[in-house]
Amino acid sequence: MICLGIEGTAHSIGVGIVQDVKGMCQVLSNRIKTYQPEKGGIHPREAANHHAMYIASLLSDSVQAAGVDFADIDLISFSQGPGLGPCLRTAATAARALALSLEKPLMGVNHCVAHLEIGRGTVKGCKDPVLLYVSGANTQVIAFAEGKYRVFGETLDIGIGNCLDKFGREIGLGFPCGPKIEEYASKGDEYLPLPYSIKGMDLAFSGILTASVAYARNGRRLEDVCYSLQETTFAMLTEVTERAMAHTEKQEVLLGGGVASNKRLREMVQMMAKDRGASFFVPSRDVCVDNGAMIAWLGLLMYQSGERMSLQDSLINQRYRTDMVEVSWRD
C-alpha cells in the first residue's frame, strides 16, 4: 500500500510518500518547504499563504521523486491537528481536493502520534518507546499505556523550542534560534544559576526564559547564558523522560521534533538511556522534524487497521490532543 501524506501544522508544509514493507515504513519521497518570517515568530496567516503557494508544486515534485504515478497512490492522509488553524486548513484542503480528484480514501491523523509512529516505523529495534517530543510548540513525554498514547509529562506553559526562540529573539538572533543558541552554548563554560522547574513529570519554561533574558540584558557573556539555558532545560527534559521510563517500566527512549536535532540534548538523553540499560533511538533528520512521511505512515497504519474517515469527519482540530486518538493499530 502506498500513502501520500501532507503535513501542515505550523511553519512547514511537507509532502511524503511511503509504503509498507513487512510492517516497516519505506520512505519513497519526503519534501519539505519551510516558511521563514521576515521578523518575529510565525504569523499563522502568512505561514498558511506560504503553504498554499507551495503545495501544488510540492505534490508534483514528491510524486516524481518517489518514482510513482498519482494513480499508484492508495491513500491520502493529512495532519488534522494539533496546530495553527490557518496552516491546518490549508493542508487539509489540499488533501481533500487530492483525494476527491483521485477518488482515493482520505485519513486525518494526529501530528504528535505521527512523530512517535515514524520512529517505530523507520528505526530498527524501536518497538515500544517513551517518546520525548520536543519542538517549537510541543514538549511532551508520550508512551503507549492502557490502549492509548498517553502524555506522561508535558510543558505547563510554553514549548522548549518556543522558549529557545523567544530567548533568541530577545538577544537578536533570527528564527529558528535553536541552532545558533547551540553554537553559543558550545563555547560557554560558566554556569549561571537558573530556576529548575519540574512538577511531577510536567515542566515549566517561562521562568527560566525570563531569568535568561535578564542575564543577557545585564551583560553576562552570551555564551554562558546560552550554555546555562541549554544545560538547565535539557536536564529537566532528560529527567522527566527518565521518570516516565521508570514509571512505565519501558526500556526504550525515542527522540522526536525539531529540537531533537540539538546534539547536546541527544547526548544527554543517550547517556541517561545508557545508564539505565535502555535503548536510545533517534530517527533520521528528515523524518524527525515536521514532515509529510510521518503523516503518510500514520495514515497508512490507521487505514490498514480498518479505520475509515468520511469527508464530513475531516475537519481540522487545532486542539487535537495526543490522548484523544483511539489506537486501533496496536495491541
Pairing state of beta strands 130-134 and 252-256? parallel
Least distance to another protein, CB of residue 21, Å: 33
Shortest approach of another protein to residue 85 CB, angstroms?
Answer: 12
The single residue among 271, 284, 315, 328 that binds another protein, judged by CB under 8 A, is 271
Name the minimum Å distance from CB 204 to another protein. Answer: 9
User: How far apart are the C-alpha atoms of 3 and 81, rounded to whole Å?
Assistant: 19
Residue 137 contacts another protein per CB under 8 A = yes
Binding window for another protein (CB under 8 A); candidates: 41-49, 179-187, 209-217, 266-274: 266-274
Nearest to 110 by CA among 146, 76, 136, 149: 149
- Cβ–Cβ under 8 Å, residues 151 and 130: no
Cβ proximity to another protein: between 75 and 272 the closer is 272
Q: Which of 235, 278, 325, 327 binds another protein (CB under 8 A)?
A: 235
Instruction: Note whether 220 binds another protein by CB under 8 A.
Output: no
Q: What residues contact residue 68 under an 8 Å CB cut-off, 6+ apart?
A: 2, 17, 28
216 binds another protein (CB under 8 A): no
Transcribe 21-53 into DSSP letters: ETTEEEEEEEEEEE---SSSS--HHHHHHHHHH
H helices present in the chain, as ranges? 44-66, 85-102, 111-122, 160-170, 178-186, 206-217, 222-248, 263-276, 285-288, 292-304
CA–CA separation, 133 and 78 (whole Å):
19
Does position 10 bind another protein by CB under 8 A?
A: no
Which residues lie below 8 Å from residue 262, measured CB to CB, with a gap of 6+? 178, 182, 230, 234
Cis peptide before 176 (omega within 30 of 0): yes
One residue of 61, 74, 170, 239 binding another protein per CB under 8 A: 239
What does DSSP assign to residue 200? T
Minimum Å distance from CB 150 to another protein?
Answer: 4
Least Cα distance to 111 among 257, 260, 312, 308 occurs for 257
Shorter beta-carbon distance to another protein: residue 34 or 248: 248
Q: Is 221 in the site for another protein (CB under 8 A)?
A: no
Residue with cell 496567516: 45
301 binds another protein (CB under 8 A): no
User: Which amino acid does the sequence have at 23?
Assistant: G
Q: Does 198 bind another protein (CB under 8 A)?
A: yes
Q: Which is nearer to another protein, 183 or 190 (CB)?
A: 190
Which of 33, 96, 148, 169 binds another protein (CB under 8 A)? It is 148
Sole binder of another protein in the list 321, 325, 327, 329 (CB under 8 A): 321
Looking only at residues 23 through 82 of this chain, which bind another protein when binding is defined by CB under 8 A? 81-82
**What is the nearest approach in angstroms of another protein to the Cβ of residue 174?**
25
Q: Which of 20, 157, 170, 286 binds another protein (CB under 8 A)?
A: 157
Q: Is 5 helix (H, G, I), strand (E, B) or coil?
A: strand
Specify the residue, 53 or 198, whose C-beta has the smaller distance to another protein: 198
Note whether 121 binds another protein by CB under 8 A.
no
* Residues in touch with another protein (CB under 8 A): 81-82, 137-138, 145-146, 148, 150-152, 154-157, 159, 191, 193, 196, 198-202, 231-232, 235, 238-239, 242-243, 245-247, 267-269, 271-272, 275, 318-321, 323
